Structure 1
Amino acid sequence: MSEPATVPSGAPEPESGPGSASAAARGRAPTVVVAGGGTAGHIEPALALADAVRRLRPDATVVALGTERGLERTLVPDRGYLLELIPPVPLPRKPTAELLRLPLRVRNSVRRTRAVLDRVGADVVVGFGGYVALPAYLAARGRVPIVVHEANKHAGLANKVGARFASRVAVAAPGTALPGAEVVGIPLRRSITTLDRTALRAEARKHFGLDPDAPTLLVFGGSQGARSINAAVSGAARELAEAGVGVLHAHGPKNTLVVREFSGRPGYVPVPYLERMDLAYAAADVVLCRSGAMTVAEVSAVGLPAVFVPLPHGNGEQALNAQPAVEAGAALLVEDSALTPRTVVEKVLPLVTNPQRVAAMSAAAVGLGHREADEVLARMVLEAVGDRGA
């Protein structure tokens, strides 16, 4: 496990602000523990919050909880934050032998998490749902203030549990059924919320080796890719090329995507993973992607017209995520079962090649979402620290 960071001597101390009084009273800066491991949809909001906390309190220490198998093993250290590993507590969806072992696994994970909270001197725990958040909530209960953030309209089990004894509960959208819910939106990276797509377009297309002038379609299916999206778009590669459309397609690190080049046409650029989402958004005129809460928030924030293809599994939350953008005229929705190469040709291609329609949809995205959600949530977290020291 990672050792807690020491706060550099002489770190700047704001004269005022949320949490400053209690920190001064205790003689040290606040330590914020974020729990959002597993998927990028949990990790990225946690890291956006961490960045906002450090902007408001440069002397704060932020520690992330994660597991051995989650994407946080790479994403958290790459962003410069400490990662403490705890045992995951995945919840079985069906009655199995695993369900019988669940109480023991929860008890072990809570014990390990509590040891981490004590060692790093946690002043507040902020959970974003998932199998890292549940043991964090249970370990912090009665010891450390808890702040819950729920990105989806239908809250997961971990956040339903955490919200019962949280100091503050933040949600992304109205109508989320959690007690005391306050609508703040989804925390996003500043590289996304401040993105000027027009100013970066030439640099972005050069970065990916795309045609500098051709209308461009961005395609991705989440951090691991999506087979249905890969098959549909790559199957329409010839028609896209003949229509003069360039494609940037992130197919997933475990998937291989072979696309035939068509001489004299804009390039179809397949990549396993997009390290620079800001440049990917800047390079594109339209995006075709899943509609996870984080993805919808980012796409709306940058004003990128979208064709959302909700994940067909789960409780229908991805279709709900896309609904506000579709109703505003900023996006189209295509069911996963209906996505074929012909669908791409008949629905997506006419959109990408219509600059007036693209401009209208981009304008419709303005005003969707909450661009300041990161700092709003950070202030809530620091206020929870202040309440503890009051």
Structure 2
Amino acid sequence: MRILVTGGGTGGHIYPALAFIRYVEKLQPDAKFLYVGTHRGLENKIVPESGIPFKTIKIQGFKRSLSLDNVKTVQLFLKSIKRAKEIIREFKPDVVIGTGGYVSGAVVYAAAKLKIPTIVHEQNSVPGITNKFLSRYVDRVAICFPDAAQYFPAKKTVLVGNPRAQEVVTSGKSEVLQEYQLNPDQPTVLIFGGSQGALKINQAVASALPQFAKKDYQVLYASGERYYADLQKTLTGQTASNLSIQPYIKNMTDVMANVDLLIGRAGATSIAEFTALGLPAILIPSPYVTNDHQTKNAQSLVAVGAVKMITDAELSADNLVAAVDEIMGDAELKETMAQASKKEGIPDAAERLLHLVNQII
């Protein structure tokens, strides 16, 4: 099988694609892959490091206001389609899968025009403009949230989930918390704001640490590289055995499998991971994303009782600690949330996506 994958710009588009590739490689070692991205996107660094063949095309997004840049965008889009067709003809894929971002728009559209079987994978509850556009041309639309179905043609749309979930469920209980000077046998809360951190979450957590230091649960906080040094200066002399502050957690999936509560943003990949594990969560959606999709992601889980939500505007040290105490201090509530989270998870997402591929090729 020859599979061309395209998607870029953010980790939310890249990591599901890589998880799917790794899953297929285990089942079919002779499968061939090609990843097409842009030279400026995050994929330009992440994909080559994964050892997957990688090619780029040049493209940019539309401005939301009237701009002469949009004329250049149209010109680049047309050129990128031509280049994408050249790459497709050279690689000869059996299927082309787009996971989002402007680059997938050109590549998947080109593949559809060449009559190559195509799939778009939408990670969020509210789709972006690229996948809405592509849904008219592709063979199948794979979604991760049931709420997303309303935006796509019903006959093409299938609930698949996020392939990252299938990687996470292979992680099990371990002594990994010892790496962060914490007790593996003590209830633990994991807090993070994404790979780069989040200013509002950082401010609230920094103010809340003196309160957390007095609790009978542990807190592992990944501040993000950009905030770590300043946070360390702020907390000089304020240490406690139940607190661990790190700039970044490299083995996040292993850590997630060994904590009791997660606090963070409401990105699609993070949600796929913690629901696959059946973790309760407190979500603080980023207000700075397209179509406010993180809020809608979180609301879909609030509705079924899997998470509590605090808006970015409402976030403070006091209400963060209060929300954590409510869950960590009530075993029945925590278990009810965990069960609801587990029901929303799709731990066989990569398998479902591969099944969809086999249907159309």
TM-score, with length taken from structure 1: 0.83
**Greater Cα shift, 68-77 or 164-173:** 68-77
Does residue 278 in structure 1 map to residue 278 in structure 2? no
Alignment length (residue pairs): 351
User: What residue number does 1:57 align with?
Assistant: 28
Summarize the alignment of residues 148-187 of structure 1 with structure 2, pairs less than 5 Å apart: 148-175=120-147, 176=149, 177-179=151-153, 180-187=156-163
* 1:269-307 deviations in Å (ceiling 9; x for gaps): 222x33212122034221111111221121111111100
Contact 1:309 1:333 in 2 (8 A): yes
**What's the CA shift for 1:319?**
2.0
Are the structure 2 counterparts of residues 221 and 283 from structure 1 closer, same or farther at C-alpha, using a change threshold of 3 Å? Answer: same
Does residue 111 in structure 1 map to residue 82 in structure 2? yes
Q: Distance in 2 between matches of 1:348 and 1:381?
A: 42
**Greater Cα shift, 80-89 or 248-257:** 248-257
Are the structure 2 counterparts of residues 263 and 225 from structure 1 closer, same or farther at C-alpha, using a change threshold of 3 Å? Answer: closer
* 1:340-373 deviations in Å (ceiling 9; x for gaps): 1121222223423444433332233222122112
SS of 2:299's partner is helix
Does residue 374 in structure 1 map to residue 345 in structure 2? no
SS of 2:343's partner is coil
Specify the code of the residue in structure 1 equivalent to 2:282. V
User: What residue number does 1:5 align with?
Assistant: none
* 1:173-214 deviations in Å (ceiling 9; x for gaps): 224211121122222253302333xx22xx210122223344
User: What residue number does 1:45 align with?
Assistant: 16
SS of 1:254's partner is helix
**Greater Cα shift, 40-49 or 210-219:** 210-219
**What's the CA shift for 1:263?**
4.6
* 1:43-84 deviations in Å (ceiling 9; x for gaps): 111112212332443211111112223222333234332221
Q: Distance in 2 between matches of 1:128 and 1:42?
A: 5
Contact 2:123 2:268 in 1 (8 A): yes
Specify the code of the residue in structure 2 equivalent to 1:113. A
Are the structure 2 counterparts of residues 141 and 270 from structure 1 closer, same or farther at C-alpha, using a change threshold of 3 Å? Answer: same
User: What residue number does 2:196 align with?
Assistant: 224
Give the alignment partner of residue 269 of structure 1, picking from 225, 241, 245.
245
Q: Distance in 2 between matches of 1:118 and 1:309?
A: 44
Are the structure 2 counterparts of residues 223 and 108 from structure 1 closer, same or farther at C-alpha, using a change threshold of 3 Å? Answer: farther
User: What residue number does 1:188 align with?
Assistant: 164
**Greater Cα shift, 155-164 or 88-97:** 88-97
Does residue 137 in structure 1 map to residue 111 in structure 2? no
SS of 2:96's partner is strand
Does residue 321 in structure 1 map to residue 303 in structure 2? no
Does residue 299 in structure 1 map to residue 274 in structure 2? yes
SS of 1:63's partner is strand
User: What residue number does 1:258 align with?
Assistant: 231
Give the alignment partner of residue 66 of structure 2, picking from 95, 99, 116.
95
Contact 1:89 1:134 in 2 (8 A): no
**Greater Cα shift, 242-251 or 147-156:** 242-251
Specify the code of the residue in structure 1 equivalent to 2:238. F
Specify the code of the residue in structure 2 equivalent to 1:182. V
SS of 1:371's partner is coil
Are the structure 2 counterparts of residues 164 and 193 from structure 1 closer, same or farther at C-alpha, using a change threshold of 3 Å? Answer: same
The RMSD of aligned alpha carbons is 2.1
Unaligned ranges ≥5, structure 1 = 1-29, 386-390
Q: Distance in 1 between matches of 2:358 and 2:299?
A: 32
SS of 2:334's partner is helix
Give the alignment partner of residue 210 of structure 1, picking from 176, 182, 192.
182
User: What residue number does 1:357 align with?
Assistant: 333
Q: Distance in 1 between matches of 2:285 and 2:305?
A: 17
**What's the CA shift for 1:215?**
2.8
Q: Distance in 2 between matches of 1:296 and 1:158?
A: 22
Are the structure 2 counterparts of residues 274 and 118 from structure 1 closer, same or farther at C-alpha, using a change threshold of 3 Å? Answer: farther
* 1:231-261 deviations in Å (ceiling 9; x for gaps): 1112111110122443222222333352425
